[in-house]
Amino acid sequence: MKVLHLISGGDTGGAKTHIINLLTELDKIMDVKIICFLKGDFFHDLKAKGINIEVFKQKKRYDMSIVSQLREEIEREDYDIIHCHGARANFIAMFLKTKVKGPFITTIHSDYKLDFKDNPYKNIVYTAINTISLKKFDYYIAISTNFKQMLVERGFDSNSIFTIYNGIDLETDLNYISKEKFLERYNINAKGKTIVGIAARLDLVKDHDTFIEGAYKVLQKRKDIIFLIAGDGSEKERLVSKAQDLNISEYVYFLGFIKDPYSFFNAIDINILTSVSESFPYVILEGARFKKTIISTDVGGISDLIRNGHNGFLIDVGDSEALAKNINFLLDNKSSIKILGENLYENVKDNFSSQKMALDHFKVYKKIIETRR
């Protein structure tokens, strides 16, 4: 079995983690290759991991000359399945599909109607193009039951949708620096304080406003805590100003983009996610490797991972009051931070490993090939 994966190559965070985890494990049981259309950190990081990756460089987003290159690659190597990730790959696949035989599948990593929410032009143009492109695929992988239901409600055939949860590598040794060195990097003095952190790009869909408002509510009653924000994006200036206006800048640190996210997760005590929309986010799984408990909005497939009060807490979107309440509970019951974190790790170990994710993909590929025959 040979499968070719297509992705833009400008991906960071969870998307890159997903591809590394998936292809590393798939490579052990089948023949896989990934082609991306930009050469940057994504390419170099995957190459360093030993993943079979190549760049078919686009001059610009609508450069369709690479379709011929891809057709030649597919015909020469005789791939059984073409597997796409993301809007750019989906768009290219729409044209490629008319030139080569074989089934095309795409993974729905997010709510595609919200992917370009922060940019008015992209939101109108790219969302429309991606919606059209998605309709052309033969099969879909939804990374949560909620996302499969979303696709069905939007008119996609349920029989063509497979649900496979994200998984994380729990066996490979991690590269990270100590908590002390990480905090020194940013000149942060956290002595005697609990560290609450969020790792997410600074855009509207991640709703850092709720995180900052929750921090403000906690800080009105106590000062034995600091808040770390890891990520960069278009909302940074506004969010920094918001923290200043609330007079909590002394306790809220904007760290920018972090190249070694595991150093961040090792340093924090409580992991937070306040997104308006998610699928099955890696920041929870990555935190779980360090047995960090989570307080998250109840969106996407997160409730399939988090049992409220057992291995974390779930809150409604925008509910900064509930966020503050749960943080205060954990601060007043320090042993619960450790217990919930350990429970989260056990759940991830049993149900959401990268090995299981890869095996589930292999089974889907096999089923598709047998069905097409």
Domains 2-169+353-372 and 179-351 share a fold: yes
| Residue 39, Ramachandran bin (φ over 0: left; ψ between -120 and 50: alpha; else beta) | beta
| CATH homologous superfamily, domain 2-169+353-372 | Glycogen Phosphorylase B; (3.40.50.2000)
Q: For residue range 2-23, list pLDDT tens digits in order.
A: 999 999 998 777 778 888 899 9
Q: How confident is the model at residue 218 (pLDDT cuts 50, 70, 90)?
A: very high
Per-residue pLDDT, 121: 66
Q: How far apart are CA 208 and CA 318, in angstroms?
A: 9
Per-residue pLDDT, 146: 87
Q: For residue range 122-154, list pLDDT tens digits in order.
A: 778 878 888 999 999 999 999 988 899 999 999
Q: For residue range 249-297, list pLDDT tens digits in order.
A: 999 999 999 999 999 999 999 999 999 988 888 999 999 999 999 999 9
Per-residue pLDDT, 125: 84
Per-residue pLDDT, 373: 77
Give the domain ranges of the chain. 2-169+353-372, 179-351
Between 311 and 42, the more confident residue is 311
Residues 6+ apart with CB under 8 A from 92: 6, 37, 64, 66, 67, 70, 84
CATH assignment of 179-351?
3.40.50.2000
| Residue 62, SS3 per DSSP | coil
Between 301 and 31, the more confident residue is 31
Name 231's bridge partners. 256
